Chains A and B, each alone.
Chain A
Amino acid sequence: MNRVAIVGAGITECRGRWVEATYWELFQQATRRTLEDAKVTAAEVDSVVYGIYNDIFEHQAIPESALTGIMGMALKPGTRVTSGGATGFYAMRTAIMEVGSGMSDLVLCVGGEKATDCFDPQSKSPTPMVIDTIAKSWDPFFEYPLGATASDSYMQMCMGYNDQYPGDIGNSAIRAQIIEMLCRQGNKNPFGQRRDETVTAEQVMASRWIIAPFLRLLEACMYTEGAAGVLFASEKKAEEIAERTGVPPIWVKGVGAANESYQTGRGGQYKPLSSIVSDRVAAERAYAMAGVKPSDIQLVELHDAFVAQLMVTMGEMGFVPLGRTRMLVEEGIMADIRELGDSKRPKKGQVLINPSGGLIFGGHFVGGSNMFSMWSARREMVKRQIPLALIHGTGAINAVFGGAIVVELEEGGVR
């Protein structure tokens, strides 16, 4: 694969609902900001990849068709990617492959979502209908009729993990402490949905249950409306753009993906219930391609549906041992933003996890959440001079889709 760089990124504000904008406007806004960031025009872009998770949310089949002209992408190739929660990751993987193959020099990857236009006439509120729409990710024959929700899906993985490793993610004080740390980080994200909130560990432990015993209201990710763009460039184009912007390119070093079977089971190729194998395999593949180990990486933007799953995923990706993910807090492996301030690198042995606030505090517009993570990782790498970062995506029921991207800021890059 040819070298691929990230030369620009831009996001909209993350909001619980954007009554001021349709998804057309959100995608255009993210496009505009991404191109402005890279100081390029729409005309310079060779092709576009759209990340849109769900036609029901957008209320249009082929929603990307309506975006093409508005985004200034008329008469360019356009590919829409939809892979559940991992849509953003897979959209970026598609854009990376397009540049890496030599097919294009400059590919715009934009993902976003409307969600809370959904409305449940029974309860007179959006949430049950939003949940129902996501629940349509289950098959209509066996799973959907049982009434499972997305929360149950991730929670089943946490339950299975807890069966195998009791006493790890079950410690609610540890989980609440992670939430408190994520909240402080989210306060620093100028686009974050909950940037003005202060959530303490005590409040987390007093919040109502969504699913006992691992998921209280303040431990769950949000529904967000918004969009984010990332611009991928070939080496030559990247250097040219870096000269214009004065911002160093971030290089894609490794990309790993793995989707587990939809069917759960024992042995063979079935999805086990005690682990998120997709996360592990995707991360291992990304590390192998990049020639790095988890201990080399001090910045992670992780797809945190719930904080218990964040802990499991950090274990699966090799940052802490499975069964002892509490070490994130107990051993101080999760860097404390109060010590790092706005410009310091994490100390040796520490990892900065979700400086964006993640999906719990920053935002979770499904089709673009992983682009949001990439936007944040790039920002933090440049600001703090962190050489390597890992961006993680997960999705589909029972977290069967997994993706990981390792990116690098080269020493001595253009400042």
Chain B
Amino acid sequence: MRERKTNGRKMILGEAWNLPREVSEVKGKDPGTYLQFNTHMVTFYQQTYGELSRFFLGLREGRLIGARCPTCKQVMVPAATWHCPTCNFVEMKEVELPHKGVLAATAPITIFPSASFIGDAPFARGYVDVALDAPIASFLPSRLRTTTGMPRPGIFVKGLELKLVFEDERVGSIRDIFWVPMSEVPAKLREKETLLASALDFAAPREPSVEKSASGKKALGEAMAAIRAMAAKVAKSPRAQKDLAGRTHDIGVRTGGGDFALHVASGAISVEDALPKRRDFVMVAADPAVFTRWVADGSLTDAAVEGKLWLPHKEAFGVLPILDRLPRSVRRDVK
């Protein structure tokens, strides 16, 4: 969520969450002009956590607790209630849960978020089976994070063993915790309870290695030729130049055919045959044809969403829609 600070405190709504007080004209499908008025329906709350407070107090203390029914032995985490709905509402007992779990089903990755989460995507969330010893158990809805770059298909799959991680600064929110694949946690930290986010490195993910091949080299040659041809057309396309206006990017690209650089500056795009010395980030595609398809009106965004193009972080993902506009813009401007 985009936040802003006032007197050093994080505020709920940023300045972007506002509209001028005005009435404007609007045209629809039918003939005639209609009016629309800017308005809002914002309600603020100091919403009590009530009986759920115990769970969130636990999170603040670095503990994960649930409710266990003495009759049916089911474990509810989070404890949505402290009285078992299937055993005549008998009182449930607090249990301390392990800081490891298993992903209950393959998790969706959100690409197009709602207004409150613009800037956060792509992100993954899913359901974690924590009370593995219990005969019946609820799943914990959770954020899922990886130290290996932007979330992509194939990581958060059903049955994945997960480690619970706590944010260093906790407030009493479900966002105080998240899970990472156990395989990404250094062995010496796997049994640690109340593992803090600062103990893991999310900022500098290791680039995946790609095997270089002769066919890859050929494919890279084709991709580079396609990008160069497009770059030449960008120089003649006002639309494409507008797409790139005010942007400067130095992007390294590793592929199965070799490395190259994409530069964006002064409304132009250019390529060179090696990784740039100074670069914003590096992206990785085993198959260089990802870039050939991009130029042929395909999409780097789609390649990233499908997991065919590796990106280090969401900021890198944010650059792709701009690059994706270029083939369309030059097609419209340059015959």
A residues near B (Cβ < 8 Å) are 15, 17-20, 56, 59, 117, 119-123, 127-129, 131-132, 134-135, 140-143, 145-149, 151-152, 155-156, 159-160, 162-163, 208-213, 262-270, 273-274
> In the complex the two chains form, what is the Cα distance from A372 to B174 in whole Å?
39
A121, A131, A273: the one within 8 Å of B127 (CB): A273
- Consensus secondary structure, chain B interface: loop
- Give B26-50 interface residues, CB cut-off 8 Å to A: 26-30, 32, 34, 36, 38-39, 41, 45, 47, 49
> In the complex the two chains form, what is the Cα distance from A163 to B305 in whole Å?
19
> Can you pick out 11 interface pairs between chain A and chain B where the beta carbons lie within 8 Å of each other?
A19-B28, A20-B34, A117-B36, A122-B16, A132-B115, A147-B116, A159-B108, A160-B105, A212-B305, A264-B138, A269-B85
Interface centre among A146, A151, A270 (most CB of B within 10 A): A146
> In the complex the two chains form, what is the Cα distance from A18 to B29 in whole Å?
8
Task: Note all chain B residues with C-beta closer than 8 A to A262.
Answer: 80
B41, B74, B106, B174: the one within 8 Å of A146 (CB): B174
Interface pair B41/A270, CB less than 8 Å apart: no
> In the complex the two chains form, what is the Cα distance from A209 to B324 in whole Å?
13
What is the distance, in angstroms, from B82's C-beta to the closest C-beta of chain A? 14
Across the A-B interface, the 7 shortest Cβ-Cβ residue pairs: A19-B28, A132-B114, A265-B138, A268-B136, A267-B136, A273-B105, A160-B105
Interface pair A265/B137, CB less than 8 Å apart: yes
Task: Note all chain B residues with C-beta closer than 8 A to A160.
Answer: 104-106, 158
Interface flags, B112-135, vs A, CB<8A=1, else 0: 111111101101011101000001
Task: Note all chain A residues with C-beta closer than 8 A to B105.
Answer: 156, 159-160, 163, 273-274
What is the distance, in angstroms, from A191's C-beta to the closest C-beta of chain B? 13
A59, A131, A141, A156: the one within 8 Å of B112 (CB): A131
B52, B116, B126: the one within 8 Å of A141 (CB): B52
Task: Note all chain A residues with C-beta closer than 8 A to B314.
Answer: none
B139 in the interface, Cβ–Cβ < 8 Å? Answer: yes
Interface pair B116/A121, CB less than 8 Å apart: no
Task: Note all chain B residues with C-beta closer than 8 A to A213.
Answer: 153, 306
B30, B45, B113, B175: the one within 8 Å of A145 (CB): B175
- Give B134-167 interface residues, CB cut-off 8 Å to A: 135-139, 141-143, 153, 157-158
> In the complex the two chains form, what is the Cα distance from A155 to B120 in whole Å?
19
Task: Note all chain B residues with C-beta closer than 8 A to A123.
Answer: 115, 118
> In the complex the two chains form, what is the Cα distance from A123 to B76 in whole Å?
39
Interface pair B17/A121, CB less than 8 Å apart: yes
Interface pair B17/A145, CB less than 8 Å apart: no
